[in-house]
């Protein structure tokens, strides 16, 4: 009985303590209710101050700078090439590289109109678009930018379009999604917008995609916005585009030991070298088409279309044999062998293999026909 009484008194004391604590908390909350806004403001201010301190500390370590924000007084009567509206970023580097470690390539972007950008695979076209977008966004927010100096005007919007993916749930292919996104961008773009589009019309045929890309370039040029549109559709330069302010820019290349390599530097002009074969080879895939030399030697897009239209890979024994010869030749070069006899022997083996395969197929078809005829008679 004594234990039960003690336990009961313990529970009663705990309940009274709980009620007392709740009363004290309610009283404290009532007293602080009038000061809650001040507490929330102080808390948010501490979070913002900590983020700014971390940003400035890291920016100084990476040698970033605060940009100069140009006031935009642009009106409808101002020409698209108004210098007060232009953007100039000197020594721009990708924000994910550490300049202090010397791992970044610097570029100078002096933009007064729309850029049509070309360059090889791995030439840093996409990286340049991301860097420009990041510098612009950081600059107008009052943050440091990854550059040596920057003059950034006020824009009403920044529109970045990278690679599109399909949407099976909506019944849209990747090209349909891309066209929907491009339509949204163009419909909301003004003269005070910055538009960045990476590798336009990559999800459809080259000929029609080139025409659509040309129409988009003309539309953006007519609007008069600043921006960069990158592309591998070199046929766009043969179209009679109605543009006034679009400037051709390219990612540079250099020849080293007879091989073309990207410099990752922005320059004036057009780059028609995609380095597609070299990129595939670096990633472990060899382009073994029998017509590779004809494609490489094509001087322009019209010649390339003519070469490609005449291709019939594996369509005949001759092309099949030629492709096999190329494969054997590549393997031969890899081993470093200079024995011409071995190379010719491999060619003979390839030819014999093709002939034997052809004969075996004929015998198989003949045997199948005889068996079918036997079953029909029986």
Residue 63, phi then psi, degrees to nearest 5: 65, 40
What is d(CA 322, CA 324) in angstroms, rounded to the nearest whole number? 5
Query: Average pLDDT for residues 44-72, to the nearest whole number?
Result: 90
**Structural domain includes residue 222:** yes
pLDDT, one tens digit per residue, over 257-297 is: 888 888 899 999 998 888 888 888 887 776 655 455 555 55
**Structural domain includes residue 373:** no
What is d(CA 300, CA 302) in angstroms, rounded to the nearest whole number? 6
**Structural domain includes residue 131:** yes
**DSSP label at residue 76:** T
Q: Which residues pair with 178 in a beta bridge?
A: none
**Structural domain includes residue 378:** no
The residue out of 235, 257, 282 marking a domain boundary is 282
Instruction: Say whether both 70 and 157 belong to one domain.
Output: yes
Instruction: Say whether both 165 and 80 belong to one domain.
Output: yes
Instruction: Say whether both 149 and 89 belong to one domain.
Output: yes
Per-residue pLDDT band at 331 (split at 50, 70, 90): very low
Instruction: Say whether both 213 and 253 belong to one domain.
Output: yes
Give the per-residue pLDDT at 104.
Answer: 78
Taking CA atoms, 202 is separated from 206, 207, 243, 271, 366, in Å, by 8, 11, 22, 17, 47
**Structural domain includes residue 195:** yes
Instruction: Say whether both 240 and 196 belong to one domain.
Output: yes
What is d(CA 279, CA 51) in angstroms, rounded to the nearest whole number? 40
Please identify which residue in the block is written with the tokens 């000061």.
35
pLDDT, one tens digit per residue, over 113-160 is: 999 999 998 888 999 999 999 999 999 998 999 999 999 998 889 999
Task: Provide the domain limits for residue 342.
Answer: 292-366
Give the per-residue pLDDT at 127.
Answer: 92
What is d(CA 144, CA 69) in angstroms, rounded to the nearest whole number? 12
How many folded domains does the chain comprise? 3
Euclidean distance between the first and the last CA atom of the chain, given in angstroms as a whole number: 105
pLDDT(41) > 70:
yes
**Structural domain includes residue 287:** no
Query: Average pLDDT for residues 27-43, to the nearest whole number?
Result: 84
**Structural domain includes residue 251:** yes
Instruction: Say whether both 114 and 147 belong to one domain.
Output: yes
What is d(CA 135, CA 147) in angstroms, rounded to the nearest whole number? 8
**Structural domain includes residue 341:** yes
Average pLDDT, the chain: 80
pLDDT, one tens digit per residue, over 131-144 is: 999 999 999 998 99
Instruction: Say whether both 225 and 145 belong to one domain.
Output: yes
Helix ranges (DSSP H) in 81-205: 125-140, 174-188
Instruction: Say whether both 191 and 215 belong to one domain.
Output: yes
The structure tokens listed for 251 are 């990612």
Residue 246, phi then psi, degrees to nearest 5: -70, 135
pLDDT, one tens digit per residue, over 345-362 is: 777 777 777 787 777 777
The residue out of 227, 250, 282 marking a domain boundary is 282
Per-residue pLDDT band at 218 (split at 50, 70, 90): very high
Instruction: Say whether both 103 and 24 belong to one domain.
Output: no
pLDDT(81) > 90:
no
Instruction: Say whether both 26 and 42 belong to one domain.
Output: yes
Give the per-residue pLDDT at 295.
Answer: 54
pLDDT(216) > 70:
yes
Instruction: Say whether both 73 and 87 belong to one domain.
Output: yes
What percent of the chain has a predicted confidence (pLDDT) above 90? 39
The residue out of 225, 259, 282 marking a domain boundary is 282
Instruction: Say whether both 212 and 256 belong to one domain.
Output: yes
């Amino acid at each position: 009985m004594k234990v039960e009484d003690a336990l009961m008194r313990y529970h009663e004391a705990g309940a009274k303590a709980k009620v007392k604590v709740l009363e004290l908390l309610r009283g404290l909350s009532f007293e602080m209710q009038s000061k809650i806004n001040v507490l929330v403001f102080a808390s948010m201010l501490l979070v913002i101050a900590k983020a700014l301190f971390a940003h400035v500390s890291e920016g100084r370590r990476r040698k970033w700078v605060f940009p100069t924000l140009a006031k935009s007084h642009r009106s409808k009567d101002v020409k698209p090439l108004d210098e007060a509206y232009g953007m100039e970023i000197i020594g721009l580097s990708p924000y994910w590289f550490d300049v202090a470690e010397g791992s970044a390539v610097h570029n100078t972007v002096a933009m007064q109109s729309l850029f049509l950008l070309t360059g090889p695979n791995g030439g840093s076209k996409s990286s340049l678009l991301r860097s420009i977008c990041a510098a612009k966004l950081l600059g107008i927010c009052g943050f440091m930018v990854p550059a040596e100096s920057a003059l950034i005007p006020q824009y009403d919007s920044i529109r970045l379009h990278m690679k599109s993916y399909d949407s099976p749930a909506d019944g849209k292919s990747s090209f349909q999604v891309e066209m929907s996104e491009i339509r949204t961008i163009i419909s909301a773009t003004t003269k005070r917008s910055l538009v960045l589009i990476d590798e336009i019309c990559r999800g459809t045929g080259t000929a029609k995609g080139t025409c659509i890309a040309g129409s988009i370039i003309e539309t953006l040029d007519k609007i008069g916005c600043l921006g960069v549109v990158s592309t591998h559709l070199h046929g766009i330069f043969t179209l009679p585009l109605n543009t006034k302010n679009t400037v051709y820019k390219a990612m540079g290349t250099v020849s080293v030991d007879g091989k073309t390599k990207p410099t990752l530097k922005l320059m004036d002009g057009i780059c028609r070298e995609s380095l597609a074969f070299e990129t595939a080879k670096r990633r472990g895939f060899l382009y073994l088409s029998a017509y590779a030399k004809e494609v490489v030697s094509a001087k322009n897009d019209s010649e390339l279309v003519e070469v490609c239209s005449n291709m019939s890979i594996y369509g005949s024994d001759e092309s099949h044999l030629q492709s096999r010869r190329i494969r054997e030749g590549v393997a031969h070069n890899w081993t470093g062998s200079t024995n011409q006899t071995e190379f010719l022997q491999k060619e003979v083996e390839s030819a014999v293999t093709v002939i034997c395969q052809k004969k075996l197929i004929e015998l198989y078809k003949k045997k199948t026909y005889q068996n079918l005829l036997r079953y029909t008679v029986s």
